[in-house]
Amino acid sequence: MTERLVTIQNRAGVHARPAALIVQTASKFKSQIFFEKGSDRINGKSIMGILAMGAAFNTVLKIITDGEDEELAANALEELINNRFEGE
């Protein structure tokens, strides 16, 4: 299992476009992927879950990946979020 802390840095937070990019990126990997915000754990491959998470600007999230490509998945999602969902 791999865990990473990231902070949402884009001013608009995680709205429809960033949520779609998160799910699109997460779906490329075989590992299980979750995001934790406070005590809530959300499936990283569920667009409804990501949207419902309500991650605004400066929200700290924990990325949790578990499986054969967990490091690659964690790296890709961390990079996506740290780049403010740009460069895809």
Query: Please, what are the averages of pLDDT over each run of 10 residues along the chain (88 residues)?
Result: 96 95 98 97 97 96 98 98 82
Strand partners, 35: 42, 63
pLDDT of residue 31: 98
Q: What pLDDT is attached to residue 87? A: 57
Active-site residues, by number, are 15
Can you give the pTM of this predicted structure?
0.94
Q: State residue 88's pLDDT score.
A: 45
